[in-house]
A and B are shown apart, each in its own frame.
Chain A
Amino acid sequence: MFRINGILAGIFFLLGLFAFFYSFQFSEVAAFWPKFFAVVLMALAIALIVDTKLKPDREQVSENTISTREYKLLAIIAASTVIYMIALDLLGFTVSSIVLLFILFWIFGYRQLKNALIISIASSVVVTVIFQVLLNVPLPQGLFENFY
Chain B
Amino acid sequence: MLEVWLSAAGNVFTPTNIFAILCGVLFGVFTGALPGLSSTMALAILIPFTFSMDPATGLILLGAVYSASVYSGSISAILLNTPGTPSAAATVIDGYEMTKRGESAKALGIAAIASGFGGIVSVIALSAFAPFLAQQSLRFGPPEYFALAVFGLTIISSLTGKSPVKGLLAGVFGILIATVGMDPISGYPRFTFGHPALLDGFALIPVLIGLFSASQAFNLMISSKLSNDEGIEFSQIPAVAGKVVPKFKELLRLTPNMGRSSIIGTIIGIIPGVGTDPAAFIAYNEAKRWSKDKDSFGKGSIHGVAAPESSNNAVTGGSLIPLLSLGIPGNAVSAVFLGGLLIHGLRPGAELFTHSGDVVYSLFFSLFVANILIIVVGIGGARIFSKVLVVKPIVLGPIILLLSIVGSYAIHNNAYDIWVMLLFGVIGFILRRYGFPLAPIVLAIILGPLAETSFNQSMLISQDNFGIFFNRPISAVLLIVAAITFVSPFLSGVVKKKKVA
Contact = CB atoms under 8 A, between A and B. Distances in A.
A123 B402 contact: yes
Given A30-B190, A110-B395, A48 B222 contact: no
Nearest to A70: B222
Contacts, number: 158
Interface string A1-33: 000110010001001100100110011011001
Given A27-B183, A40-B172, A77-B401, A34 B435 contact: no
B397 A108 contact: yes
A104 interface: yes
A41 B166 CA distance: 11
A30 B183 contact: yes
Interface centre among A12, A84, A108 (most CB of B within 10 A): A108
B484 interface: no
B168 interface: yes
A74 B218 contact: yes
A38 B175 CA distance: 10
Interface string B409-427: 1100101001100100010
A45 to B, nearest CB: 7
Contacts of A109: 224-225, 228-229, 394
A113 interface: no
A127 interface: yes
Looking at chain A's contact residues, is the secondary structure mostly helix, strand, loop, or mixed? helix
Interface string A80-98: 0110110010000100010
A121 B430 CA distance: 31
A47 B169 CA distance: 10
Interface string B395-406: 101110111011
A143 interface: no
Contacts of A48: 163, 165-166, 169
A131 interface: yes
Interface in B440-470: 452, 455-456
A66 B435 CA distance: 11
A138 B455 CA distance: 40
24 contacts: A8-B434, A26-B188, A26-B190, A27-B186, A29-B186, A30-B183, A30-B185, A34-B176, A34-B190, A38-B176, A40-B172, A41-B169, A41-B176, A44-B168, A51-B165, A66-B433, A73-B225, A101-B399, A104-B397, A109-B225, A109-B228, A109-B394, A127-B406, A137-B51
B392 A110 contact: yes
A38 B169 CA distance: 11
A114 interface: no
Nearest to A22: B191
Interface in B90-126: none
Contacts of A16: 176
B221 interface: yes
B49 A85 contact: no
A57 to B, nearest CB: 10
Nearest to A102: B398
Contact of B430 (A45, A60, A66, A136): A66
B185 A29 contact: yes
A98 B419 CA distance: 20
A49 B165 CA distance: 10
B291 interface: no
A56 B53 CA distance: 50
Interface in B57-83: none
B173 interface: yes
A59 B435 contact: yes
A119 B395 contact: yes
B17 interface: no
Contact of A85 (B225, B398, B418): B418
A105 B190 contact: no
A34 B183 CA distance: 10
Interface centre among A4, A22, A23, A131 (most CB of B within 10 A): A131
